[in-house]
Amino acid sequence: MNKYRSGIIRFFNFENLIFISIGFAALAWVLDSLLDSLIFHEGTVIDQIINPTNHEIGIRLLFGSVFIVLGIYIQSGIARFKKAEDALKVAVIKAEDEKNKTNAIIESIGDGIIIQDTDYKILYQNQIQNEIYGNRAGEYCYKAYEGRDAICEDCPIELSFKDGKIHKTERSVPTDKGILYVELTGSPLKDSAGKIIAGIKVVRDITGLKRVEETLRESEEKYRVLFEATPVGIGIADLEGKILDCNANMQEMTGFTLEELKSMDVSVTYVNSDERKMLLKTLQEIGRVRDWEIRLKRKDGTIYYALLNADLLELKGHKVILTTARDITESKRAEREKDRFLKAFASSTEGITIADEKDRFIYVNEAYAGIFGYHQEELIGNTWHQITPPEMIAPTEKGLSNTLHNKDVGTFYGEVPGLRKDGMIVPTEVRGKGIWDDNGNYQGHICNVRDITERKRSEEAMKKYARELEEANQLKDLFTDIIRHDLLNPVTVIKGFSEILSENESLPENRKSVEMIIKNVRKLEEMIQSAATLAKVEAMDKLDFEERNLCQILRKVISDFTPMYRSKGMSVEFFGEEKCFAQVNPHIEEIFSNLLSNAVKYSPENTRITVGIKADGEDWMVSVKDRGNRISDEYKEIIFERFKRIEKHGVKGTGLGLSIVKRIVDIHKGKVRVEDNPEGGNIFLVKIPAKRSG
């Protein structure tokens, strides 16, 4: 229709109307001529058209003018109509644009928006409101939202209609997603004259806020329960000393009720009010006080000791002091009793120690600490493990500790080796007794300890003297054998070649002789060193053991021999674990050095030597594989015995080195043997116990 109307308006423009008006005027001229000729018989039609009378001309011109004026008027009206229509279009476009903007603003609001008329009929809902309640446009709000037949009593829209103000209320709304809590805000919508024509209701989802409030309420209840149930007194006071709150334990400790405490100054409970000032000063400087012992007064005037912890906090914008207090009166009394006993213990010349239920020292007297070379404070808090040799911890656990922990036995008497701070072993005689409470629970033990070093030294001196008598004969035979078989021969060689050299030192052969002399001198030096080592091994203290990593020792020995085996184009391969700990004597390195030295000396050039270590039950098995001449079976048992020297017969390396190996292995209560290497050569096997058996 609009398209048709626009076409008509475009057709009746000014130019077209002029032509149309002229056309109507000409048509009127012809029609009038036709009427005059046919009806009034005033000549032919042609004559009337071409030669009308003056009267007819006037009439016809009048009608033509009327048509022209009428056309002009119509065109003017059409122009005004078109202008009005264009203005209306612009207004409609602007109105639509404003409507779109308004809708966009309403839809962008995170709350539900409802517009309803003064009869409470819903005119509009935004998308948020549709999501909450569904699209209820056209329905009455009380029916759509509340299922009621009349307006709600606290309806914010009704109240805003009455007084023209904004009103709020809260509701719980059942939905298919559960209970929804909303805040309703109603405000009137007025026209330009100020008359209320509708109402706007904003619906805000406050479910999350309600849940937070509920959580905070529950949390406050829980903290209140914790506040009351805590087994120490808790109080809150301001900086002026006014008590704001306290738990039941604090009331019981002080003897005051909460109402009484709130009505008084906290400094009244202090024996010395200056200590309250000191507390405030410390809190203001560092914000907290920890484990402060103080004397306080109860309501009945009795004095008690308390252990205070205080923190300076901010509560609702105000500085407050949170204090926890524990009554330590009984523990102070017990501490005084303990001090009296400790003074008696301190004067004792025997070592006295008291341990708790976990065997930690809670007291040692000076005599006890002195036995092991410690100060008293160095032992407090530690256990007897600190003063026990590592290899003796398990036996001591089985003997001393388990006995004291056994209520049916409860007492111990015996000798226990101790470990001094400087690493020395100290023999002690221990008398111990377990301590038990009325319920049969182990509470700790008390021990008297006596240093029996002098007694043991006397006993050991007698044993050592007997051993030395026995070993003296063996050493005599050893040095006789060294002089006769190992030292005499190289000296003879040196002497013989020296004589040749002196006769004709310019001969080329002399150079070879010199080389031979040097070789034997080195051999002599090596033998002397080996003899010295063996003598040292024979005489050393057999109790001198320490925990060492055998793998590290083997790697060090291999590294030390690197120049020697590389000079022969040889390689040494090592395999084994990274941690191979054992209780060994420092001379353990001599075993591996002698075996590797022999392997390098008596293996062909450009061959490979293999050194390895692996676990063998509770022992470590060390192997050294060489590529030298095999040792025949008849010599494999006696090759390590120095006093059963064998003839060479092609067998090399049967000197002092293997005797040293055997002696050190024996000291470790281990074993050594030699086997054939399937790849050629020999395999020397040494078994070393990981732990000392005694």
Instruction: Give pLDDT, residue 22.
Output: 67
Compute the average pLDDT of residues 204-223: 72
Say yes or no: 559 and 646 in one domain: yes
Q: Could you identify the residue written with the tokens 């020995």?
A: 557
Same domain, 79 and 130: no
Residue 463 burial (CB < 10 Å; 0-12/13-18/19+)?
A: exposed
Pair (511, 634) in one structural domain: no
Question: What's the pLDDT tens digit per position in 556-585?
Answer: 999 999 999 999 999 999 998 888 999 998
Q: What is the CATH number of the domain that holds 160?
A: 3.30.450.20
Give the mean pLDDT of 305-324.
Answer: 90
Whether 224 is in a domain gets the answer no
pLDDT (0 to 100) of residue 480: 47
- The enclosing domain of 601 has a CATH number of 3.30.565.10
Any domain includes 47:
yes
* Contact between 312 and 319 (Cβ < 8 Å): yes
Distance CA 215, CA 222 (A): 10
Q: Is residue 317 part of a domain?
A: yes
Q: Does some domain include residue 533?
A: no
DSSP string, 549-609: EHHHHHHHHHHHTHHHHHTTT-EEEEE--S--EEEE-TTHHHHHHHHHHHHHHHSPTT-EE
Of the residues 451, 469, 490, which one is the last residue of a structural domain? 451
For residue 681, give the nearest of 623, 642, 638 by alpha carbon: 623
Whole-number pLDDT of residue 568 = 92
Domain end (from 431, 451, 471): 451
Considering the domain boundaries, does residue 422 fall inside one?
Answer: yes
Euclidean distance between the first and final Cα of the chain, in Å? 121
State residue 653's pLDDT score: 44
The answer to whether residues 433 and 472 belong to one domain is: no
Full domain range(s) for residue 495? 457-522
Query: Among residues 128, 190, 116, which one has the least CA distance to residue 155?
Result: 116
Select from 327, 358, 387 the last residue of a domain.
327
Residues linked to residue 241 through DSSP beta bridges, in sequence order: none
Same domain, 76 and 139: no
Nearest alpha-carbon partner for 686 in 637, 585, 666, 678? 666
| Higher-scoring residue by pLDDT: 654, 26 | 26
676, 554: one domain? yes
Do 295 and 345 belong to one domain? no
In a domain, 285, yes or no: yes
Same domain, 554 and 660: yes
Give the count of domains, the chain: 6
Residues 290 and 338 both lie in one domain = no
| The total number of residues written for the chain in this structure | 694
**529 occurs within a structural domain:** no
Whether 437 and 462 share a structural domain? no
Note whether 548 and 662 are same-domain residues: yes
**Pair (323, 207) in one structural domain:** no
- Predicted confidence (pLDDT) per residue in 392-413, tens digit: 989 888 888 888 888 888 889 8
pLDDT at residue 340, as a whole number: 80
